[in-house]
């Protein structure tokens, strides 16, 4: 039992350090969110996961159809976001998020009820650029 407790205590800071390093090294989009390559209907796209005034937001490029929705599930709950044609993004959502925290999110992109794409990706928080030697 002692080994499990000590292992758990050591695991948390190591895991957090690795997440911080991944956030630091993540490819970032124009809005400073984590940028991923995805494929919709065999066409290359990118999705940028980030925030607007501390709520979740996602930008898909090229833009999906105006009636597309993005379901987001994480430890903060589940939200279904509509595509905002004016701002060219999904969201912002209604749940307040810490922009410095990291979260694994399950994403499902739908159009007319049909699933176009789904995956689980990291919503990396804003990374601290100080103190990194690489």
Summarize pLDDT for 13-36 with one digit per residue, the tens. Answer: 554 545 555 555 678 888 888 899
Query: Whole-prediction pTM value?
Result: 0.78
Summarize pLDDT for 88-109 with one digit per residue, the tens. Answer: 999 999 988 888 887 899 999 9
Query: Does residue 77 have a pLDDT over 50?
Result: yes
Q: How many C-alpha atoms does 109 have within 13 Å on its Cβ side?
A: 24
Confidence class of residue 4 from pLDDT cuts 50, 70 and 90? Answer: low
Say what the pLDDT of residue 126 is.
Answer: 75
Q: What is the end-to-end Cα distance of the chain in Å, rounded?
A: 38
Domains and CATH numbers, the chain: 2-123 (2.60.40)
Say what the pLDDT of residue 1 is.
Answer: 66
């Amino acid at each position: 039992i002692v080994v499990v407790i000590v292992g758990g205590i050591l695991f948390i800071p190591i895991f957090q350090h690795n997440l911080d390093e991944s956030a630091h090294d993540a490819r970032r989009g124009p809005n400073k969110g984590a940028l991923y390559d995805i494929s919709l209907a065999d066409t290359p796209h990118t999705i940028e996961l980030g925030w607007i005034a501390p709520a979740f937001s996602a930008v898909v490029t090229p833009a999906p159809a105006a009636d597309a929705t993005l379901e987001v599930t994480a430890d903060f709950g589940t939200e279904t976001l509509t595509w905002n044609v004016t701002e060219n993004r999904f969201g912002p959502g209604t749940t307040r998020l810490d922009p410095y925290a990291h979260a694994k999110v399950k994403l499902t992109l739908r159009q007319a009820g049909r699933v176009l794409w789904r995956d689980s990706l990291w919503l990396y928080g804003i990374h601290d650029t100080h103190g990194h030697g690489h």
